[in-house]
Amino acid sequence: MNKKDWLKRKDLEYKNNELFYGNIRCNDLAEQYGTPVYVINEIIIRERYNVLKELLDSVYTNNEIHYAVKANSNLSVLKILNSEGASVDCSSAGEVFLSLKAGFPSDKILYTGNMFTNEDFRYAIENGVGINLDSISQLDRLTRIYEDLGKEKGAISFRINPEFGAGHHAHTITAGREIKFGILNNQVIEAYKKAKDYGFTRFGTHIHIGSGIIDATDYEKAIGKYIDIVMNLADTLDIKFEFIDFGGGLGIPYNPEQEPLDLDKYKEIVIKPMVDLLEQHKIGKPVIKIEPGRFIVAEAGIILTQINTKKDNGYKKFLGVDAGFNTLIRPTMYGSYHHIIPCQIHENSDVKEYDIAGPICESGDILGKNRKFPEPIEEDYLAILDSGAYGFVMSSVYNSRPRAPEVLIKGKKSYIIREAEEFKDLIKKQKVPKHLN
Ligand SMILES: Cc1ncc(COP(=O)(O)O)c(C=O)c1O
């Protein structure tokens, strides 16, 4: 894809050498809110959700998109998706709490935990949200807690590990024999039989094979195996499933050289085979679910950061900025590529190559290596693209740097949706024992 179109799909555009996000000059946002700042684009979130919704509707209307809250859990982001009619997938009781606060009804919330505690189960049951178990052993405790609370048992599913995983990095591949998630094929019948014996009557199935999948063929083997497992399960235990969940993982083009995920191919490989089987086997009309996180919000966010240091050590040139791996950990944690572009281009400037370095006191705090762009000056602003997913949610206060604010843009307007943390927040929850005072 040419660079201009690639930027345009993310609602970014240069006008007279200045970068605009939506209809707003990035320099204006940086000056108004300070840097670093996470900027989230409402229009793109709505657009990406609807692209997927139309894709699913075109093949099977009884579908639900459970946005994966872990990707970006800001209340305003959740409210945008709630207003579009999305459901959510939560990976912790905290995410369930946020989803309820954002107004999602409990029957639209699925809690896919791993290593559930009794408190997690209690919170989920008390709030009436669906639970997606990660191990047969958890079923005993879950059943006991349902009985202790005197609550009617809700729908239950197990996360099935189809042993074929995929993803942009080893840490995001979530299927395979050596992987901690889900139950393998050899335990599936036992798991659902046990659930039936415990008196559960409403069932679903689930997989999530990994994150950052940009080639839809990477789903092929896992989906083939999953479908065989589900069909065998339905036949063996005579179960009519309420839902069949295909997880998330849909990748986005972080690099202008990358082609976007081919959504038609995704539909053919992931959704269509199951839909065809449902028609042939007459096993009912379960809801088909998917759980995208990154696809919906990654391209809907940038981080604006300011250059504070230009350094040339004789071997290498560095641009020192005020965002670091405390702000965006993906480059350091996964070696991930995020495109970084200037918010203004100075006339007649030479193109030079730089490493973009954050302020964290570690050599690994490099946001971009060997990046070529027109020579900037200190105090210029840069935009780190595709930071809407796994950005703020993975941030930290390492080196005691308070977290950056979040801003939402829509058309020409911008809104603060999370205040910047301050030094006083660093000590808010601390207690000093008397003998040290
Ligand atoms: C169970 C589950 N569903 C959905 C997702 C969302 O993944 P992605 O953001 O890659 O779509 C994840 C991510 O780890 C997950 O663990």
Rg over CA atoms, the chain: 23
Structure tokens at 202: 């409403």
Return the ligand 1 atom nearest residue 211 CA. 10
Give the pLDDT of residue 402.
98
- Is 68 close to ligand 1, i.e. is its CB under 6 Å away? yes
C-beta of residue 169 within 8 angstroms of C-beta of residue 143? no
Give the relative orientation of helices 93-101 and 75-84 as an angle to the nearest 10 degrees: 60
Residues classed as catalytic: 361
- Is 330 close to ligand 1, i.e. is its CB under 6 Å away? no
For residue 433, the 8-state DSSP code is: -
Give the pLDDT of residue 281.
73
Q: Where are the domains of the chain?
A: 3-41+298-426, 113-292
Give the pLDDT of residue 64.
98
- Is 160 close to ligand 1, i.e. is its CB under 6 Å away? no
Give the pLDDT of residue 1.
81
- Is 292 close to ligand 1, i.e. is its CB under 6 Å away? yes
- Is 211 close to ligand 1, i.e. is its CB under 6 Å away? yes
Q: What CATH number does domain 3-41+298-426 carry, 3.30.300.20, 3.30.530.20, 2.40.280.10, 2.40.37.10?
A: 2.40.37.10
Would you say the pTM of this structure is higher than 0.95? yes
Give the pLDDT of residue 299.
98
- Is 248 close to ligand 1, i.e. is its CB under 6 Å away? yes
Alpha helices in 9-136 (DSSP H): 26-33, 42-57, 75-84, 93-101, 118-126
Return the ligand 1 atom nearest residue 250 CA. 11
Return the exposure string of 375-409: e unless at least 16 CB atoms fall within 10 Å of the residue's CB, then b: bbeeebbbbbbbbbbbbbbbbeeeeebebbbbbbb
Dist. CA 217–CA 125, nearest whole Å: 37
Rounded to a whole number, what is the largest CA-CA distance in the chain? 75
List % helix, strand, coil for the chain (3-state, nearest 5). Answer: 35, 25, 40
pLDDT digits (tens, 9 = 90+) for 202-211: 999 999 999 9
Which residue, judged by its Cα, is nearest atom 1 of ligand 1? 208
Residue 90 sits at φ, ψ, to 5 deg, of: -115, 145
For a mutational test of ligand 1's pocket, the pick from 110, 291, 387, 394, i.e. the residue with the most ligand atoms closer than 8 A to its C-beta, is: 291
Return the ligand 1 atom nearest residue 298 CA. 9
For a mutational test of ligand 1's pocket, the pick from 91, 133, 171, i.e. the residue with the most ligand atoms closer than 8 A to its C-beta, is: 91
Return the ligand 1 atom nearest residue 295 CA. 11
Q: Where are the beta strands (DSSP E) in 348-403?
A: 351-357, 366-374, 381-384
Give the pLDDT of residue 112.
97
- Is 89 close to ligand 1, i.e. is its CB under 6 Å away? yes
Give the pLDDT of residue 284.
74
Dist. CA 248–CA 211, nearest whole Å: 7
The CATH code belonging to domain 113-292 is: 3.20.20.10
Give the pLDDT of residue 278.
85
- At 190, the amino acid letter reads E
Long-range contacts of 168-173 (CB under 8 A, 24+ apart): 168/211, 168/212, 168/213, 168/214, 168/251, 168/334, 168/336, 169/212, 169/334, 169/335, 169/336, 171/333, 171/334, 172/210, 172/211, 172/212, 172/334, 173/209, 173/210
Residue found under tokens 């020409």: 412
In this prediction, the residues of the chain whose per-residue pLDDT falls under 70 are: 282
